[in-house]
Structure 1
Amino acid sequence: MRNTAKFTITLTALLLGAALLSACGETKDAQGKAPPKETEVGVVTLQPETVTLTNELAGRVTPLQSAEVRPQVTGIIQERLFQEGSQIKKGTPLYQIDSATYQVAVDTAAAQLAKAEATLNAARSKAQRGQGLATRGLISRDSQDDQLTEQKQAEADVAVAQAALKTARLNLAYTQVKAPLDGFIGKSAVTAGALVTANQATTLTTIQQLDPILVDITQSSAELLNLQRDAAVPVKLLLSDGSAYAHAGKLAFTDLNVDANTGSVTIRAEFPNPDRQLLPGMFVRALLGSAVRNNALLVPQQGVTRKANGEASVWVVKADHSLEKRTVQATQAIGSKWLVESGLQAGEQVVVDGLQKIKPDTKVKAVPVGGGK
C-alpha cells in the first residue's frame, strides 16, 4: 500500500513539472515573436503646382527660302564653280556653260545694229534734203512723204537691231549660271561636259536659306483659337531622337484654309538655326503652349501603372501605413510626369519606388524620394 501511494505522488509531481515546463515554453515563444517588419517604399507627397499645358504635334522642317537652279540657255557645262554644301552669296557664279556660240550671236547682233544705224543716217540725210527741195517746189509732196517713211522704217530697224543685241548679250550672260539668293547650296546634279537645255525640268542644284528655318505644324482648328488669342506663345521642338532642340521658336504664319476632311489647319513657326541642326524635310515634334493650369497635381511616370485598356492607377500610402490602389485619370504628360485630372488629392503620398515589393495588405514605411516632400 505504501509503495502504491509513493508511486502516485511521484507521478503527480512529474505531470505538474511537465505542465510548468510547457507553460514556460509557450510564454517564451509568445514573448520572443517580433511584429512583422514594414516594407520601405519611395513616395512623393503631392503638392499643387502651376503648369503650362502643351500640345505635342507633328511638324516638318522647311527652309525659309529655296531656289531650284536651272539653266536659261542651252549648252555644254564647262565647269562647276562652287563647293557642294557650302554657304554662298546671291550672284555667286555656279556653272560656266560654253559661251562661244553666244559670243558669235552678240557679234552678229552688233553688226546688224551698225548696219541699221548706217541706213538710218542715210535716210535722215535724204529726208532733210528732200524737205529743202520740197520747200522750193523742186520735188513732189509724194516724194517727200516717201523719204520720211524710209527714215521711220530705218529708225524701226535700228530699234529691232538694238533689241536683238540686248537679247544676245543676255543669253551670253546666262552662260554663267549664278546664285539667285543667299544660302547653302546642295549637291550638283551635273558635271563638266554635261549637256543642259534652257529651262529644263531637271535642276542643276538647290539653294536653301537655313537660318532662320521654318517648321510646318498641323493643328486642329479648335485649338487654333487659343493660339490666336496669344500670338506670342513659345514653340519648342523635340528632335527625332527625343532630345529637346536648344532654341525656342515663334509662330510666324497660319494658313487661310481649314482642311474639310480633317478639320486641321497648317501653322508655321520660325526657329533660329545657327548650327544647321534642323535640315529641310526632317520630321520633329512641336510643343505648343495652350493654357495655364493652376493647382495641378503631377505624378512621376514611374508611379503610374496602366492596364491593357489604358486605365491608370497608383498606390497611395494611408495614415495607418497601409496601401490603397487608386484609379486615376492621367492623360497628358508634362516632362517626366503625368498630369492627374482626378483620383488624387494634394498632400497624399504616392508610391514611386519599390512597387515590385508591395501587396494590397502590406504595411509600408514611406521614404521621400527626390522631389518628394
Structure 2
Amino acid sequence: MSMAMAVSQPQGVLAQGRPAAGPTEVGVVALTSQDVPYTVTLPGRAVAHDQTEVRPRVEGVIEEVTYTSGATVAAGDLLFRLDTDTYTAALDAAKASKASAESTLAAATSTVTRYRKLNGVGITQSDLDTAEASLAQAQATLAASEAALKTAQLNLDRTEIRSPINGIVDLPQFSVGALVTANQSDALTTVTAIDPIYVDVQESSARMLRVRDRIATGTLKPIDPLGIVLTLETGATYQGAGTLVSPRTEVSTTTGSVDFRIQFDNPDRLILPGQFLRVALTLGTTQAILVPQRATSRSSDGSLTAFVVSDGKAKQVTLTSSGTYRNAWIVTDGVTTEDMLIVDGLRNLRAGAEITTVPVTINDDGLVEDMPGEASAPAQGTGE
C-alpha cells in the first residue's frame, strides 16, 4: 500500500524533498608572467673523443702482447713486440755500409786535396776532374748509406708497436705467433679515448631560424654559456658540465637538421661510445605563464585543457604550450595574467559548474598547499 502511494506521488514532491547541491569548493592560484628558461631537449649519441686502430708498420711474427685488455694506456706505451732478428741484421749491415762509405769518402777527399796541390806538376786537369768526381760520388754514397741506416733503425724500432694516443685499449685481435704485415687491413687492436667524450645531437634548422627570430625581436633573451644537461640511458641526470664544441656549417639534405657536438668530462666512464642519450639545451629566457601540470588534462582530441574562474563558474579553456618547466606547462596562449586558475577540486568538475574559491599555493613538488590565514571566498574572475 505504501509503495503504491509513493508511486502515485507527483514527481515534483520527490524533487522538493532533495537538498539542493551547493557550489563546488575549488583551490585557485593567480596566474603571473615570469622569466622562464627556454629549453629544447634533443636526442644524442655518444662518440669517442679519439679512436685509433693500431696496425703494424713492418712485417713480423708477434712475440709478445704486453698490455691488459681494457687497461688505460698513455701515448707511447708498448702494446705488441715483433721478432727483431731480421731487422737487427739489416741494421748491422747498414752500419757496415756507412762505415765503408765513410772510408771511401775519406780516401777520395785526400786524393782531391793532394791533386789540387800538384795540379800542373805531374797531375793533369783531367786527373783532378776524375778525382773530384770520385769525391762527389763518395759523398753521395755516404748520404745514401746514412739514409739506409736510418731506415733500418726505424724498422727495428717499429717492431715495438706502441699506443698512438691516450685511451683504453681493446682486446688484441692477433695472438703470439701470428704473422702480421705492414699496414694490413685488419687492426691489431683499437685504442679509444673517452675522457673527455663527445655527444652528437641534431637540431632542426627551421627551429634554429625561429630561435634567431625570437632573439632578434627581443622575445627570447640568450644566455652565454648555454645551459647543458645530459640525461643517461637510466634516466639519471649526469653530474658533469657540458661544453658546446661547434655546430656544423651545413644542413642535412635528408633530415633538414644541423649537427652539434657537445663535450663532457667522463672520468668514471659512465658515458660510452654508441650510447643513446638526451641533451637539454637552455638557450635563453622568455616571458611566459606557467600552468601547473596538475591543473591540466587532455581532451578527447588530445588538446591540453584547464579550468579558470569566470563569473562564479568554472570555465574550460584550451592551452597552447611550448614545453615544460619543472612541474608546469609553459603556456603561450589560452590564459592571461588576469585569470584565476583552478588547481584543486577538479574531480568531476564540469564547465559551467558553480564554484567557491580558496586561494592556495603550489609547492616545488607540484603539490597544493593552503595559504595561511585564507578562507573560502565567493568565486571571482574575468568575464568571457
Q: TM-score, normalised to structure 2's length?
A: 0.77
Instruction: Tell me the matched-pair count.
Output: 344
Report whether the alignment pairs 1:256 with 2:249. yes
Report whether the alignment pairs 1:338 with 2:329. yes
The match for 2:314 among 323, 337, 349 is 323
SS at match of 1:241: coil
Is the contact between residue 72 and residue 197 of structure 1 (CA under 8 Å) also seen in structure 2?
yes
Is the contact between residue 234 and residue 250 of structure 1 (CA under 8 Å) also seen in structure 2?
no
Q: What pairs up with 1:147-296 in 2 under 5 angstroms?
A: 147-221=131-205, 223=208, 226=212, 232-294=225-287, 296=288
Letter of the structure 1 residue corresponding to residue 168 of structure 2: F
Is the contact between residue 186 and residue 206 of structure 1 (CA under 8 Å) also seen in structure 2?
yes
Q: Residue 304 and residue 88 in structure 1: after superposition, are their counterparts in 2 closer, same or farther (change >3 A)?
A: same
**C-alpha deviation, 1:149, in angstroms:** 1.2
Q: TM-score, normalised to structure 1's length?
A: 0.79
Q: Distance in 1 between matches of 2:131 and 2:324?
A: 91
**Which range moved further: 161-170 or 303-312?**
303-312
**Which range moved further: 232-241 or 345-354?**
345-354
Q: Residue 254 and residue 331 in structure 1: after superposition, are their counterparts in 2 closer, same or farther (change >3 A)?
A: closer
Letter of the structure 2 residue corresponding to residue 332 of structure 1: G
**C-alpha deviation, 1:40, in angstroms:** 6.9
Report whether the alignment pairs 1:83 with 2:75. no
Q: Distance in 2 between matches of 1:184 and 1:43?
A: 58
Is the contact between residue 105 and residue 168 of structure 1 (CA under 8 Å) also seen in structure 2?
yes
After superposition, the C-alpha distances for 1:128-163 in whole angstroms (9 at most, x for unaligned) are 33334434x213221221122112111211111111
Q: Distance in 1 between matches of 2:357 and 2:161?
A: 74
Identity of aligned residues (%): 35
Letter of the structure 1 residue corresponding to residue 124 of structure 2: S
Q: Please, which runs of 5 or more residues in structure 2 have no aligned partner?
A: 1-8, 217-221, 372-384
Report whether the alignment pairs 1:97 with 2:78. no
Letter of the structure 2 residue corresponding to residue 51 of structure 1: V
Q: Residue 370 and residue 230 in structure 1: after superposition, are their counterparts in 2 closer, same or farther (change >3 A)?
A: closer
Q: Residue 344 and residue 91 in structure 1: after superposition, are their counterparts in 2 closer, same or farther (change >3 A)?
A: same
Structure (1 or 2) with the greater helix fraction: 1
Q: Distance in 1 between matches of 2:160 and 2:343?
A: 68
Q: State the match for 2:95 in structure 1.
A: 110
Q: Distance in 2 between matches of 1:206 and 1:366?
A: 68
Q: Distance in 1 between matches of 2:301 and 2:176?
A: 63
SS at match of 2:46: strand
After superposition, the C-alpha distances for 1:192-236 in whole angstroms (9 at most, x for unaligned) are 222222112222222233232222222234526749975522222
Q: Distance in 1 between matches of 2:338 and 2:235?
A: 32
**C-alpha deviation, 1:79, in angstroms:** 1.6
**C-alpha deviation, 1:307, in angstroms:** 4.2
**Which range moved further: 346-355 or 180-189?**
346-355
Is the contact between residue 53 and residue 292 of structure 1 (CA under 8 Å) also seen in structure 2?
yes
**C-alpha deviation, 1:106, in angstroms:** 0.8
Q: Distance in 2 between matches of 1:73 and 1:331?
A: 60
The match for 1:142 among 126, 132, 135 is 126
Is the contact between residue 219 and residue 264 of structure 1 (CA under 8 Å) also seen in structure 2?
yes
Letter of the structure 1 residue corresponding to residue 88 of structure 2: Q
Q: Distance in 1 between matches of 2:179 and 2:127?
A: 55
Q: Residue 40 and residue 94 in structure 1: after superposition, are their counterparts in 2 closer, same or farther (change >3 A)?
A: farther
After superposition, the C-alpha distances for 1:153-199 in whole angstroms (9 at most, x for unaligned) are 11211111111010010011111111222223233322222222211
After superposition, the C-alpha distances for 1:56-105 in whole angstroms (9 at most, x for unaligned) are 22222223333222211111222222222222222111111122211111
Letter of the structure 2 residue corresponding to residue 115 of structure 1: S
After superposition, the C-alpha distances for 1:277-323 in whole angstroms (9 at most, x for unaligned) are 222222222222233122x2222334433346432212345564x43
Q: Residue 259 and residue 33 in structure 1: after superposition, are their counterparts in 2 closer, same or farther (change >3 A)?
A: closer
Q: State the match for 1:124 in structure 2.
A: 109
Is the contact between residue 39 and residue 357 of structure 1 (CA under 8 Å) also seen in structure 2?
no
Aligned CA RMSD, in angstroms, stands at 3.3
SS at match of 2:111: helix
Letter of the structure 2 residue corresponding to residue 98 of structure 1: D
Q: Distance in 2 between matches of 1:196 and 1:147?
A: 48
Q: Residue 244 and residue 45 in structure 1: after superposition, are their counterparts in 2 closer, same or farther (change >3 A)?
A: farther
Q: Please, which runs of 5 or more residues in structure 1 have no aligned partner?
A: 1-21
SS at match of 1:276: coil
Q: Give 1 or 2 for the bigger CA radius of gyration.
A: 1
Q: Residue 332 and residue 107 in structure 1: after superposition, are their counterparts in 2 closer, same or farther (change >3 A)?
A: same
SS at match of 1:119: helix
Q: State the match for 1:297 in structure 2.
A: 289
SS at match of 1:144: helix
SS at match of 1:123: helix
**Which range moved further: 257-266 or 48-57?**
257-266
Letter of the structure 2 residue corresponding to residue 82 of structure 1: Y
Is the contact between residue 234 and residue 251 of structure 1 (CA under 8 Å) also seen in structure 2?
no
SS at match of 2:119: helix
Is the contact between residue 51 and residue 191 of structure 2 (CA under 8 Å) also seen in structure 1?
yes
